[in-house]
Amino acid sequence: MVSRRVFLGGALAGLAQPGWAMPPEVSLRPLVRPAGLGARAFPSGADLVAEAALGGRVTYAVADARTGQMLEVESPLLGLPPASVAKAITCAYGLDRLGPGYRFRTQVVSDGVLQNGRLDGDLWLVGGGDPLFGTDQLSRLAIDLRERGIREVTGRLMLATGALPYIREIDPDQPPHVGYNPSVSGLNLNFNRVHFEWVRESGDFTVRMDARSETLRPPVQRMRMRIADREGPVYTYEERDGRENWTVARGALGNGGSRWLPVRQPHLYAGEVFQVLARSNGIVLEGPGVGQTAPAAATVYAEHVSEPLEDILRGMMRWSTNITAEAVGLTASKAGGSVPRTLAASAGDMNTWMRPRLGARRAAFVDHSGLGEESRVSAQDMVRALVSAGADGALRRLMRTIPMRNEDGGIVPDHPIEIVAKTGTLNFVSSLAGYARAPSGRDLAFAIFCADLDRRAGLADPQMERPNGGRSYARRARRLQQALVERWAGVYGADQAG
């Protein structure tokens, strides 16, 4: 780690220097080796990588964010998994194809006749692919039906799911119980997760599965949990008899707790919860049935309109929600005229789009969230994309501030470097890409990818959620990333000539 004092000393010395020393094998541009103590305050990039002792491979690139001039690189053409840094590209893709003001719409419609509170016909819950649609919004639709005067529906509740293709899970290689790997559908609810809660009572456990929000806890019956007397695995899952059946090892429950579990049939989950909420408003709905689209001439009786896409993406970049990235990416591909049936097909559309648009020549994404480890992007291509997006562009405004930390991990207040970036983490994969503003005001675009793919490939299924050594690897990778950015801001921050 480079301390704030050392950084300031090096940066101030750099203001009087025309260039900085760099080993020729890691720099695309020859630099004059300066004399003076300030120049030696910053270790070389190679020394920083060696000190981190991560194993595997490390690749990075940094450029002037305004001119695109590459300043320093290491293995710039090596493609590694970007992890959630992929979401930065998805942001650019969604904004370009859909526009910042795009909104997802979820509707309740019918082509039946409403008379004296009786709706003669089917009632359709029509998904628009909204990844943020939740129980509170679904409840509002049920209330709106009541306020429109609907008291009885003679037909069935029908679910229209054709806004997006059905994706059973984002990455099939993930453990079955992790909530960040849900299904994706045209009709989503609660990030396509169900809440599982267990409470110890009288020496045993009471379990509950519900679609809770901040104000509501509607129970669900399609998802069932059974406590099993076994050592492991902690969770098992299967679909049987139209239900999603879970088991959990008794010894893993402790004295009580809760977690969110992924849902594999999200449209049916949303349909069941809507029936519960409609019933609480005096409307009994039979069904549900499933269809691709609602009747063309249907009347809209209730509608939820999402926040603008730009706000949705800002939240995605902050919380790194995978389902948001996939829903936005799939919707953007459809807007471009494609009809993707898989995440890989939609990601292929994004790959094709970004080559001329962002200058990324070798990017090969397999999804829009970065959860799939088969995605590959080079540091140089990522930096080209950041430069193309603009040093003051919308993508930069969507990124979150990354605080600089001291040797003990504490945040350093008023650090002279300003970083906005996207982080990415998988087991033994750590990435950081974004923009850094040096004290001089010079803007840098950078990407750092670290991956020990051999170590990752050696993980057995029970180790996937919390592998031995995983936290240590991530911690050392983050320290390396900060040290590299500090080095670049000091070495290149004073050079405004481009």
> Which domains, and CATH codes, for the chain?
4-82+376-492 (no CATH), 105-305 (3.50.80.20)
**Taking the CB of residue 93, how many other CB atoms lie within 10 A of it?**
29
CB 163 within 8 A of CB 127: yes
**DSSP assignment string, 41-90:** GS--HHHHHHHH---SEEEEEEEETTT--EEEEESTT-EE--GGGHHHHH
59 strand-pairing partners:
449
435 strand-pairing partners:
420, 445
Return the residue matching tokens 């008291």: 151
Report the distance separating Cα 383 and Cα 223, nearest Å. Answer: 44
The reported pLDDT for the residue numbered 223 is 97
- Comparing C-alpha atoms, which of 370, 351, 369 is closest to residue 361? 351
Report the distance separating Cα 444 and Cα 460, nearest Å. Answer: 40
Query: pLDDT (tens digit, 0 to 9) for every residue of the chain, 498 residues total?
Result: 344 433 333 333 333 222 222 222 333 333 333 333 344 478 999 999 999 999 999 999 999 999 999 999 999 999 999 999 999 999 999 999 999 999 999 999 999 999 999 999 999 999 999 999 999 999 999 999 999 999 999 999 999 999 999 999 999 999 999 999 999 999 999 999 999 999 998 889 999 999 999 999 999 999 999 999 998 899 999 999 889 999 999 999 999 999 999 999 999 999 999 999 999 999 999 999 999 999 999 999 999 999 999 999 999 999 999 999 999 999 999 999 999 999 999 999 999 999 999 999 899 999 999 999 999 999 999 999 999 999 999 999 999 999 999 888 899 998 999 999 999 999 999 999 999 999 999 999 999 999 999 999 998 877 777 899 999 999 999 999 999 999 999 999 875 544
Rounded to two decimals, the pTM is: 0.91
Report the distance separating Cα 214 and Cα 47, nearest Å. Answer: 49
**Taking the CB of residue 371, how many other CB atoms lie within 10 A of it?**
27
The reported pLDDT for the residue numbered 495 is 54
- The residues, ordered by sequence, that sit 6+ positions from 399 with a Cβ below 8 Å of its Cβ are 88, 317, 420, 421, 422, 434, 435
The reported pLDDT for the residue numbered 392 is 96
The reported pLDDT for the residue numbered 33 is 33
**Taking the CB of residue 96, how many other CB atoms lie within 10 A of it?**
17
Report the distance separating Cα 375 and Cα 279, nearest Å. Answer: 45
Q: Residue 209: which H helix or E strand, with range? A: strand 204-210
In angstroms, the Cα distances linking 390 to 68, 384, 397 are 10, 10, 10
